[in-house]
Structure 1
Amino acid sequence: MKKLLLLLTLMGSFVASSQETGTIKGLITDSNGLPLSGATVSIKILMKGTTTNFDGLYTLENIEAGTYDVSVSYIGFAMANYSVLVTGGSTTTLNASLDESSSILDEIVLTANKQPQKITDVPATVNVISARDIEEFPSFNIGELAARQKGVDFVRSGVLGTGINIRGFNSAFNSKNLQVTDDRLSTLIATGLPMGSFSTVTKDDIARVEILLGPNGTLYGPNAHNGLVSTITKNPRQSEGTTFAIGAGNQNVVTARLRHAQVIDDKFSYKFHFERSQGTEFDYVDSVYVGTNSYTELDLDRDFEAEKYGANIFFKPTAGSELSAYYGHSTNSNIGITNAGRNQIKDWTIDELQLKFVSKNFFANTYYTWSNTEDTYAINQRTQNYVSFIQNGFSEEEARERSFTEQWFPTGPDTGIALQRGALFKDDSRRFNAEGQYNNRWNEFYLTLGAQYQLDMADSKGTYLLDQGGIDIGQTGVYTQLEYKLEDSGWGFLLGGRIDNHDLYGNNFIPKLAVTKKINDGTFRLTYGKGIAVPSILNLKGNLFGGLVLGNGEGFTLANGTVIPRLQVETINSYEIGYKGKLSDKLFVDTNAYYNQSDNFISPLVNVAAGSPVELVGNTPIGELVPGSNGAFVLSYLNFGSVDTYGVDVGLNYYFNDNFRAVFNYSYFGRSLDKNDLNNDGNLDGQVLESELPINTPNNKFSLGFHYAKSKFYGAMYGRFVQKYDFFSGINVAAETQDLDGDGVNEIVENARVGRTWNYGQLGGFTVDANAGYNFSESLSLGLSITNLFNAEIREFVASPVISPLVSFELKYKTNFFKRKASNVN
């Protein structure tokens, strides 16, 4: 009897308990009814949440009876909030349809902390180029959209060439901003430069681009120094169908693209993409000086072409995890600008192979990158080589053939010697990367823990590196990040740290701190972050043009006894205060002020032999290391002492209505150079000058843009002003007339030869860009894009032409034949 009573009591308790709790379930779709797999559904007050499965379905169980605020979010879509009544012992259905983010306030971003967060919660300044921005921009080069972002220095060097810089000290070889694509480094192996047009992904497969301002080295490692650019591609489960696009424009531009994505079943999906583009660069020739005479660039080929393709396959072992494999390839021929002259890039290929696993708490990623070119060459050096042979009586055929590797130096009236002045660049480099990460949440406490490994295997076949037998450099990083969020009070705290071990530079510690405070519809933040820039393999082991450019991995000793130390790791300590949020129902603001302290700043190329010839490279006589070199003229890289920089970024978005909005961005950048610190003496003459640490960044810039989209029409117009500024990078000069050392003589003269190049004057000015399009149906659209609409005479980069208007048309056809139907949840 006692056992029966006990059993009845337990059963009654169980029934009572089940009646006191309920369940919420439902379906999450996009505005077209396509189920969203992986959307987050959460009840913050209960610290309870889940993600949707393959069919967009979710279930939240064991919820105490009551009324709750339920939030639904997905990257690239506006967050939705609902008030839901849960009744004990029953199931409440909550279906939600999410719209693509139309307001910046609603954006969900991924890059800042490697997990989805509402943009107002992120303790950093983040610019987002959304899928809608990309869809409504009818140009094959989406890099142009970076010109519309706050805090970003955008430059255009031609039809194909676009680049960005963040917070100062740009150059023609700028590797201070890390670029990643789907958790893969998008940088060249030996130089560390962004891949840019070498990328293996195509425009139609890009879901979004997130640009973070300031150091982000704790989670992403060395060289996320001044900023981070993260490109995220589309998952086929949210982008099924086929897209075919063709485009054309002036400068003989023609492009064609194809993308197809399909979900096979609840386990497998796939996608593939292809692109072919070609055109002709602006009619511009960079002068090459031999002695006092100038010559046009030899065999200049202004035609460019690019081909890229790739494919992904996705497998879901469970409803909440995904395994994906990717292969991508690109082949490129174009003109590239360097700080030692322009390069004729010929059939440079990039290949990438990646395997990645993602689940709620675990992330694993490994990929292999390889780079190859056989025929790329430096135009400036090859032209000098060619002239040396022609001037000394060699035939045209022999001069052209030998110009790739040699330069002729006369030793008498009818005698001479050919020295190695190689202009040819070969590359057969490899890179291996691996990363593992664990993340979890316990109430208000969030943990991220991970490790990364990278092995760079550079091989120039002896053409531009001191790399007989190849150069292998490895680095390992271990990181953790802790977050504590007090939802009731609005306070948030973040503490992160990374220990990065480099084969050449040992251990470096990279910390990160942040405090945030939510107030009404906005968030204040105070952050500190450290970044490091490890010298690239080219910085350390470069050997260009027969020793005229040498890497500084071992240090130099000059004939007068002066010792120039080897390159050290550059560090930056950044302090930032910012606010982002709504000032009214229609006005959103994101603003920051920052102060940076840089130590061991890695310089652009400078002549280290200005005071005396180089005698030793490390402990090796320069004549043994580079046969034929007397060390009288050697360009290399140095560390400066201490440089302080500071600035302000302001971004305003005003929404007149759902169809029309305006954007205003303003940035100021300044610096303070200690002229009493001889470590800042770039030319080693015992005097520190402002020009020896070139800022290469405008002090002031702003842009004003208008976006309109209604029914089947969309359009945008952007005006961009960049204050005139000086730019120095290696042999390249773009600056106003000035007396650098105060001796009464102008070393820099505008519209005249300066050193080994022609100085056309300062960069910058005002331009207007516009784009518009019309959707004839859900499948067919036509777009038009115009860069420099009013033909302003503006030069944006060194060794580059005045940018004329660029006009491009794009016709796009999309099908959703494989689109899945929403499941019935009842």
Structure 2
Amino acid sequence: MKVCRQSLCLLAALLVFFCHNALAQTQHTINGTVTDATTRQALPGVTVSVKGANAGGVTNQNGEFSVRTTQRLPMTLVFSYVGYKPVEQTVTDPSVSVNVQLTSTEILGQEVVVSANRTAQSILDAPVSIEKLDSRTIKASPAPTFYDALANMKGVELSTQSLTFKSVNTRGFNSNGNTRMLQLIDGMDNQAPGLNFSVGNIVGITELDMDNVEVLPGAASALYGPNALNGIVLLNSKSPFQYQGLSANIKSGILSDGGRSKGTTGYYDVAVRYAKAINDKFAFKVNLGYIKADDWQAYDDRDQSLLNGYDLKSGNRSNPGYNGVNIYGDETNVNMYQGLKGTAFTPGNPLSDGILAISGATGGLITPQQIYQAFMPDSARSFVSRTGYNERDLADYETKNLKANVALHYKFNTNLELLAQGSYGTGTTVYTGADRYSIKNFRMGQYKIELRADNFYVRAYTTQERSGDSYAVGTLGQGINEAWSPSREKWFPEYFGNYATQGFGTFATTFQQALQGGQSPAQAFATATAAAKNGSPAFHMAAREFADQDRLMPGTQGFKDAADKIKSKPIPGDANGVGARFMDKTNLYQGEFMYNFKNQISFMELMVGGNYRVYALNSDKTLFALDDNGDEFRINEYGGYVQVGKKLLEDNLKLSAALRYDKNENFEGQFSPRLSAVYTFLKNHNVRASFQTGFRIPHCQDQYIDLLTPQARLLGGLPFLRERYGLNGPNVFSLESIQAGAPKQYNFREFKPEKVEAFEIGYKALISSKLLIDAYVYTNTFKNFNGSQVLVKVTPAGQEVYSVPVNFEKNIKSWGWALGLDYRLPSNFTFGGNVSYNRLLDEESLGGFQAMYNTPRYRYNINFGNRNIARSNFGFNVSWRWQEAFVWSSSFVGPLVRVNNLGEMPAIGALDAQVSYLFVQPKITLKIGGANLTGNKYIQSWGNPTVGTQAYASIGYNL
């Protein structure tokens, strides 16, 4: 921890330096108010800046502002607010109150963003692609929540795993629980530390406190560090100085899908926010939000086993090896042919004696082996699986989410602010990984302290994850089966014995009848074989009914008792039974800083920053490997960056370059450069080009997991784990080589972080203040792409199966483009849309490697609306979103279903709409809307729930 102490000392020194520079300012004060020119109502949140200086402020709840500045008189104040025309006001006497009225309009391309360079700039001349939702757009979006509204952004995908858990992705390689996207909430990495991905907005910001959302598609590691491989999502909350008073919103509606246990159910969403500035120094805010509903359900019962010659198109429950997509417990299977073969010819049991008797009666003309094969399926078609349970009988669909946030802000002056913030979230939801996980009573907190100004920040924060009563749904189904009737000791022997008795009985009876009818032994054998084969479906059905006698059924006390016992026992269980509980209490600790030398250097931009991070793994010794002392590991990593920028050609050409270095204790250090250029012509036309890199350090589980599951032992990719389980020896083979009948020793390569090199060219322009155009084309080259390798270790005791993360040895390339158009029509009507295209290149060259691109080639959105029709306070917005069909690769509770393009996700088309009315004087807003109003129910990724129609109505105060 020596590096950690040095980092803390550096942060303290920087803190003293920053405070000294920020406090050494002399200021005088300008006061005033800002109102809406039409309604005469006060406008909170209006940005007030001093032209040509760094000073400024924001109006409070009453539209009042106070600006301190050292600028000489006369000076110019600039008033700007999203959706209003900017106004400039000259000030000659600071003692005279400045009163300004702003006129509402739909001016496109006026947003200010910070994600591109970590400093405020116009979205028009940003060096990379950026999508933004400001608070005004969020309120008008035809979506149940602001998080759902992200799906309307250009090139952005959502994967719905639950009503309250959606994963965001851009530019391909989509997954549930996306570890290639970085989500920051008020500057804090919002990942659950033990999972290394963000759990949607479960531990995030309520809609009342949401100021804006920025999405930066593509690589962004040069400024944001590890895991910003596919992009970043920045969620920023409202300041209690800028947005004061009480706000509240009550939303209620229905979820409707006829395939659920109960087709139509209600849902409830309540949020309250209170913020207060005690004076111009101290302010605080408190936020509470609560959501409750009966969740969307996953009920895909297609057969994904690929056993016995079936596939997703032809398979059904008549397949003895059936493995339904959202049926659990049926993953356990055995080859019946091999299971009985060893005992079929052993004298002393009825089956063996009967086979030997018939063989002897023919004088050995028909061998025991031939008789056995006559009434049994061949070895490739004799797989039998356990009878499974529907997900709705195992998962907790009573979704709920409680969010709480408290923040204290103190201003030393208008440019130096100290804040302490705590956010806490708890709830129940469902997540899709290699299994479906019921995330029950999950808890996570994020707590930070930060000192910031317009040119620097220093912050420290921690994320504390507690998995609560979470459990693996698929493992639970298997566990209930094993608790009632152990597979190897009871269920399969009963099934096989009953099938064999029926099969041999039919064969023997038909054989004797054929001989008595005058057929030769050979003819009788053929007749008996045909009868046994024809009876096979009925034999399987009867054998399953026999083995399933007194099976534990959902709703019974026996089922509940068995499920409760399994859910309380940590994965994978012990000698006394299977365990399904997911235990994780991992914490993350981070310190970071940024300093912009804009006050010291005027001829160019110079910015530096850095961070130090610690993961403290804690799964109560159930998920992660242990060190030599029997403790779980800690992971230390650090990084730093520098960025320079320069404007040339009368400020029309903007060049910037950034370089970042990151070091994780288990991997070599990583350099991430970025180069960009933006050329502005005809004032509002901008052409941009960039080269940037990204990388992803293997997450905590890819490094240290050590978990025995029913299918395989999951191991991290670090060398010491391979050695611990003897995987470097000559008796370890790839599963593919064994399946091909030519076992080949597997040789490990060095396990490295993923890297991507991204090129992008874009164009953004605002034409006649009415048409906003945004277009880009990009290419990505991924190196050391991370995937899972299944290995089989052959020992004298049998075979051991392992799943280990490895790097693909070849480069993987993709490319794509996107186009967005937004047009301001007369009377402030707006019409717009976007289309995006993403494609994986040279897919056939990947061989058997599953890159899991999981992205449609084409997707588009169309929207039409007006926030305030003819100043009547009525507003509406309508959007249509569509994406084409694509193939999803997954190892979700079964094989990789991409085989023969069987894992196809159908095309999606959905209509969303919302209407609103504002009662000005009481500050009440009414909304009625719905998502997927056409009722085209859909699934967004393999194994996930079916999404139907969501309709809602809300009443909000002081939104």
What secondary structure sits across from 1:144 in the alignment?
A: helix
Work out the number of aligned pairs and report it.
Answer: 731
Identify which of structures 1 and 2 has the higher relative contact order when contacts are C-alpha pairs closer than 8 Å and 6+ apart: 2
Question: Is the counterpart of residue 203 in structure 1 residue 207 in structure 2?
Answer: yes
- Between the aligned partners of 1:804 and 1:735, the Cα distance in structure 2 is 27
> C-alpha separation between the residues in 2 aligned to 1:614 and 1:386?
30
1:542 and 1:550 in contact (8 A); partners too: yes
Residues 24/233 of structure 1: CA separation in 2 closer, same or farther (3 Å cut): closer
Residue of 645, 651, 655 corresponding to 1:493: 655
Residue identity in the other structure for 2:851 = L
Equivalence for 1:80: 86
Report the CA distance between 1:381 and its aligned residue.
1.2
Give the superposition deviation at 1:463.
2.3
1:686-742, CA deviations, whole angstroms, 9 ceiling, x for partnerless residues?
A: xx14x7223200111111111212232121111111010000122368999x8x5xx
For residue 721 of structure 1, what is the aligned residue in structure 2? 882
Shift of 1:323: 0.7
Q: Is the 8 A contact 2:436 2:473 kept in 1?
A: yes
Deviation at 1:305, TM superposition (A): 0.9
Which position in structure 2 is the counterpart of 1:586? 770
- 1:459 and 2:621 matched: no
Contact 2:772–2:823 under 8 Å retained in 1: yes
Give the equivalent residue in structure 2 for 1:644: 813
Deviation at 1:278, TM superposition (A): 0.7
Measured at CA, do residues 30 and 231 of structure 1 come closer, stay the same or move farther in structure 2, by a change above 3 Å? farther
CA contact (8 A) 1:330 1:350 kept: yes
Q: Deviations over 1:203-260 (max 9, x none)?
A: 1101010011121112211111111100000011211110121111113211211100
CA 1:61–1:469 in structure 2 vs 1: closer, same or farther (change >3 Å)?
Answer: same
Secondary structure of residue in 2 paired with 1:613: strand
The CA deviation at 1:428 is 1.2
Residue 79 of structure 1 contacts residue 108 of structure 1 at CA under 8 Å; is this kept in 2? no
Q: What corresponds to 1:361 in structure 2? A: 455
Secondary structure of 1:425's match? coil
Question: Does the aligned pair in 1 maintain the 2:297–2:946 contact within 8 Å?
Answer: no
State the SS of the aligned residue for 1:539: helix
Question: Do structure 1's residue 767 and structure 2's residue 910 form an aligned pair?
Answer: yes
1:373 aligns with 2:555: no
Query: CA, structure 1 residues 454+102, in 2 after alignment: closer, same or farther (shift >3 Å)?
Result: farther
Shift of the 53–425 alpha-carbon distance from structure 1 to 2, 3 Å rule, reads: closer
Over 3 Å counting, the alpha-carbon distance change for 1:100 and 1:226 in structure 2 is farther
2 CA distance for matches of 1:117 and 1:481?
Answer: 15
TM alignment of 1:254-653, pairs within 5 A? 254-285=268-299, 286-288=326-328, 289=330, 290-291=332-333, 292-296=385-389, 297=391, 299-338=394-433, 340-392=434-486, 396=558, 399-400=562-563, 403-404=566-567, 405=569, 418=575, 422-441=579-598, 442-467=601-626, 468-486=630-648, 488-520=650-682, 521-546=684-709, 547-554=712-719, 555=722, 556-557=727-728, 559-560=732-733, 561-565=745-749, 567-603=751-787, 606-609=788-791, 612-613=792-793, 630-632=799-801, 634=803, 636-653=805-822
Change (3 A) 1:720 1:90: closer
Q: What is the rounded CA distance, in whole Å, between the counterparts of 2:147 and 2:732 in structure 1?
A: 47
Relative to 1, partners in 2 of residues 1:362 and 1:344: Cα closer, same or farther, differing over 3 Å? Answer: same
How far off its partner does 1:50 sit?
A: 2.9
Other-structure match for 2:373: none
SS, match of residue 946 in structure 2: coil
Letter in 1 for 2:284: Y
C-alpha distance after superposition, 1:597-625 (max 9, x if no partner):
1101112xx4512xx4378xxxxxxx9xx
List per-residue Cα deviations over 1:568-587 (Å, max 9, x = no partner): 10000111111111134311
Q: CA deviation at 1:419?
A: 7.7
Aligned partners of 2:85 and 2:104 also within 8 Å? no
SS at structure 1 position matched to 2:482 = helix
Seen in structure 2, the aligned counterparts of structure 1 residues 34 and 263 have a Cα distance that, compared at 3 Å, is farther
Cα 1:636–1:216 shift into 2, 3 Å: closer
Retained in 1: the 8 A contact 2:144–2:931?
no
Q: Distance in 2 between matches of 1:733 and 1:577?
A: 41
Q: In 1, are the aligned partners of 2:661 and 2:670 still within 8 Å (CA)?
A: yes
More strand by share: 1
Q: What do the CA deviations read for 1:2-61 (whole angstroms, capped 9, x no partner)?
A: xxxxxxxxxxxxxxxxxxxxx997757464545768743223xxxx55324883335463
Cα distance in structure 2, aligned partners of 1:37 and 1:708: 21
What's the counterpart of residue 547 of structure 2?
Answer: none
Q: Which has the higher helix share?
A: 2
Q: Confirm or deny: 8 A CA contact 2:114 2:120 kept in the other structure.
A: yes
Contact 1:717 1:768 in 2 (8 A): yes
Kept in 2: contact 1:137–1:785 (CA 8 A) = no
Task: Answer with 1 or 2: which has the greater Rg.
Answer: 2
Q: CA RMSD in A?
A: 3.3
Q: Distance in 2 between matches of 1:108 and 1:584?
A: 19
Aligned partner of 1:50 among 48, 55, 67: 55
Judged with a 3 Å threshold, the aligned counterparts in structure 2 of structure 1 residues 60 and 155 are, in CA distance, closer, same or farther, namely same
Per-residue CA deviations over 1:385-440 (Å, capped at 9, x if unaligned) read 2212312379947744553459999xxxxxxx948754211111111111112112
Q: Give the deviation of 1:629 after TM superposition.
A: 9.8
Q: Say if 1:814 and 1:532 are closer, same or farther in 2 by CA, change over 3 A.
A: same
Corresponding letter in the other structure for 1:804: G
- Aligned residues of 2:696 and 2:754 also touching (Cα < 8 A): yes
5+ long unaligned stretches in structure 1 = 1-22, 410-416, 616-622, 681-687, 741-746, 750-758, 816-826
> Structure 1 residue 813: deviation in Å?
1.8
Secondary structure at 2:907's aligned position in 1?
Answer: strand
CA distance in 2, matches of 1:386, 1:566: 40
> Which one-letter code corresponds to 2:917 in the other structure?
Y
Q: Percentage identity across aligned positions?
A: 21
Pick one of 792, 795, 799 that aligns with 2:936. Answer: 792
For each residue in 1:309-357, what CA deviation from the matched residue of structure 2 results, as whole angstroms up to 9, or x when unmatched?
111111001122111111111111121111x120111111111111111
The 1-side partners of 2:753 and 2:771 are apart by: 42
Residues 566 and 581, structure 2, Cα contact 8 Å, conserved in 1: no
User: Which amino acid is the alignment partner of residue 813 of structure 2?
Assistant: D
Q: Which amino acid aligns with 1:518?
A: T
Structure 2 SS opposite 1:61: coil
Q: For residues 88-144 of structure 1, what are the alpha-carbon distances to aligned partners after superposition, in whole Å with 9 as ceiling and x for unaligned?
A: x99999765567884331111122222211111211111111101222348663211
Shift of 1:162: 2.2
Residue 40, structure 1, aligned to residue 42, structure 2: no
Per the TM alignment, residue 643 of structure 1 is displaced from its structure 2 partner at its CA by 0.7
Corresponding position of 1:823 = none
In structure 1, how many angstroms separate the alpha carbons of the residues matched to 2:453 and 2:756? 34
1:633-662 superposed Cα distances (whole Å, 9 cap, x missing partner): 536454452011111011110110352101
TM-score (norm 1): 0.82
* Counterpart contact for 1:593–1:649, Cα < 8 Å: yes
Query: Is 1:698 equivalent to 2:856 in the alignment?
Result: yes
* Secondary structure of the structure 2 residue equivalent to 1:706: strand
**What are the ranges of 5 or more consecutive residues in structure 2 without an aligned counterpart?**
1-27, 60-64, 255-264, 300-325, 334-384, 491-550, 553-557, 734-744
- Check 1:218–1:569 CA distance in 2 against 1; reply closer, same or farther (3 A cut): same
Q: Which residue of 1 aligns with 2:946?
A: 802
- Larger mean Cα displacement after TM superposition, 187-196 or 467-476: 467-476
Q: Would the aligned equivalents of 2:130 and 2:215 in 1 still touch at CA under 8 Å?
A: yes
C-alpha distance in 2 between matches for 1:721 and 1:53 = 39
Question: Which sits farther off after the overlay, 531-540 or 352-361?
Answer: 352-361
